[in-house]
Amino acid sequence: MNGWHGKILKVDLTTGDSHVEEIPRQLLEEYLGGRGLGVRLMRDYYQLDPFDPALPLIFAVGPLCGTPSPTSARLSVVSRSPLTGTIYDCSAGGRFAWRLKATGVDALFITGKSPAPVILTITPDRVEITSAAPLWGCDIPTTVAALKERGSVAAIGPAGENGVLFANIMMGEGNSVGRGGLGAVMGSKNLKAVTVNGDLKPTIADPALFEKARQDVMRLFKASPVIFGPLGISEFGTPVLVDLMAQRRMAPTENFRKTWFEHSANYSAPTIKDACGAKKDGCYGCPIQCKKSSKNGKPLPEYETVSHFGALNNVTALHAIITANDLCNELGMDTITAAASLSAWGEIRGAFPTAGEIPGLLNDIALCRGDGKLLSLGSCRLSEELGHPELSMSVKSLELPAYDPRGAYGMALAYCTSNRGGCHLRAYPISHEILRKPVPTDRFSFSGKARIISIAEDTNAAVDSLIACKFAFFGASLEEYAELLTAVTGIQYSPQRLKEIGRRIVLTERFYNCVNGFTRTDDMLPERFFTESGSSGDGIDVHPLDRVRFEEELGKYYRIRGLNGNGCFDAGDFLNKQP
């Protein structure tokens, strides 16, 4: 088999048993890997509680991983989110994905709960479960330093151990399985870390076609101003969006009460580069190198982090934002939900936390003590506990990232249709509404957005299953990646076939959610966005969203998807009709 190894490693932490199974070829061909394969493998488990020991935590790579395909050293972790209750996948790049593939498997399927904290070590000829007692309670850097001789490390910090609902799984190189709290799922299994190391490589069916396709992708990368332009993400990283969002009056400020922050230049990309001596960094083997690190090698905050620990909490000092980012990485928790929870809490109590208070609060969150115990639940639950559920700026309990939906109507719709909650990456309409790629659309119009969002969701589901980085598609397209996949696997793939695979994945996720009780009511933005204006200025008026037009476009989305008016499936057994 080319591209895939065709194997899954299953580990039961309750019994300590492990074994390798064959993955049916049809599942690989029709779900690819990453997100798609993980979602398919959840078919018999998606109704389990997120903290049920029987619930699997699935690490899945794709058919391009382990080859020189650009941006392919990635994996998805799939389970059910304790923060949202939705089916959940989270993507991360780095050496861990490459080395997991090099152990000879396409997926790692972990179930059960160890009676005591453990470390799982995997090589091509060995699966070992050892005590993590000396490392339980340690932060991420300490854990990674202790285990790096075993290979690449994926670990949880104190936040995951203590069940913080937005705990991360952190990779040794600084990459994170960031949103949705899958680190808490890992912690509930008493699994401190997974280490992987191997030297097995997948075979490529057609090396000549592969090299042609790879060169095509690289040529398109180099021609893309978004990737390699003077202000591109390769040069400055994602904080290049800070100035752009400020200019468009859609930077979430003070818990989304405003959409413009007068001090945002304090943490713009050029400011970060000058102040921190930012150097290029990124995932293993990636030519884009979108991540940036400081002189001492610490990962610097990305756009969502600087904006949410900055404008959203009314913090003006760059050093305070960097400190917050460092702490979240060390403690193992999502920066978006952490910052958004602090912001909601701040509005409710009438005072946003100061820059000096935030480090202590982040430590309290990770240890679930004092005010941190409530904050560890995320903004939705804490707002409900404090009697102000309307002040959680979230969809399906997942906090919104740093794009105010009043400034981009496609984003408003995409937040709500996203199967995992308020996520910008399921459809990423910012590409055409703000970055104007591949073609521009009117950001203050709902017209046509339902169709565009559904196509983008299908496309991104395929990308997340290949698995490739979304930034690659600011240059290349599914056409080039379909050719790469064809060359690697020897199976004919076209862009249309990849979109059909993506559609199957998206609908499977929605089916899981519908069975678990999610309906149209959950596909809705907080009331604030329909009743309050944003911050107008510089000739831009930011009005409340038109609820009637939003509802109309949401209904169109459902019809395009073949769903009923409640956003679910009318009749028949959807799953039995799928491979």
Please give the C-alpha separations between residue 95 and each of 121, 294, 529, in angstroms, as whole numbers: 15, 20, 41
Question: What per-residue confidence (pLDDT) applies to 409?
Answer: 98
Q: Kindly state the tokens that stand for 486.
A: 């064809």
Characterize the bridge pairing of strands 107-111 and 7-12. Answer: parallel
**How many Cα atoms are found within 13 Å in the side-chain-facing hemisphere of 68?**
11
Residue 318's pLDDT is what? 98
Under a CB-based contact definition with an 8 Å cutoff, are residues 353 and 313 in contact? yes
What phi and psi values does residue 390 have, to the nearest 5 degrees? -70, -10
Q: What is the Cα–Cα distance from 45 to 36, expressed in whole angstroms?
A: 15
- The answer to whether the beta carbons of residues 247 and 538 sit under 8 Å apart is yes
Q: What is the pLDDT of residue 35?
A: 98
**CATH no. of 7-196:** 3.60.9.10
Cα angle: 130, vertex 133, 135; to 5 degrees: 100
* Contacts of residue 306, Cβ cutoff 8 Å, sequence gap at least 6: 239, 242, 267, 272, 318, 321, 325
Q: Provide the pLDDT for residue 438.
A: 86
**Separation between Cα atoms, residue 434 and residue 460, nearest integer Å:** 18
- What are the residue boundaries of the structural domains of the chain, listed by start? 7-196
* Helical (H) or strand (E) element with 123: strand 118-123
Q: At what angle do helices 547-561 and 409-417 cross, to 10 degrees?
A: 50
One digit per residue, the tens of pLDDT, for the chain of length 579 reads 999 999 999 999 999 999 999 999 999 999 999 999 999 999 999 999 999 999 999 999 999 999 999 999 999 999 999 999 999 999 999 899 999 999 999 999 999 999 999 999 999 999 999 999 999 999 999 999 999 999 999 999 999 999 999 999 999 888 999 999 999 999 999 999 999 999 999 999 999 999 999 999 999 999 999 999 999 999 999 999 999 999 999 999 999 999 999 999 999 999 999 999 988 888 888 999 999 999 888 999 999 999 999 999 999 999 999 999 999 999 999 999 999 999 999 999 999 999 999 999 999 999 999 999 999 999 999 999 999 999 999 999 999 999 999 999 999 999 999 999 999 999 999 999 999 888 899 999 999 999 999 999 999 999 999 999 999 999 999 999 999 999 999 999 999 999 999 999 999 999 999 999 999 999 999 999 999 999 999 999 999 999 999 999 999 999 999 999 999 998 778 998 999
pTM more than 0.85: yes
pLDDT of residue 486: 98
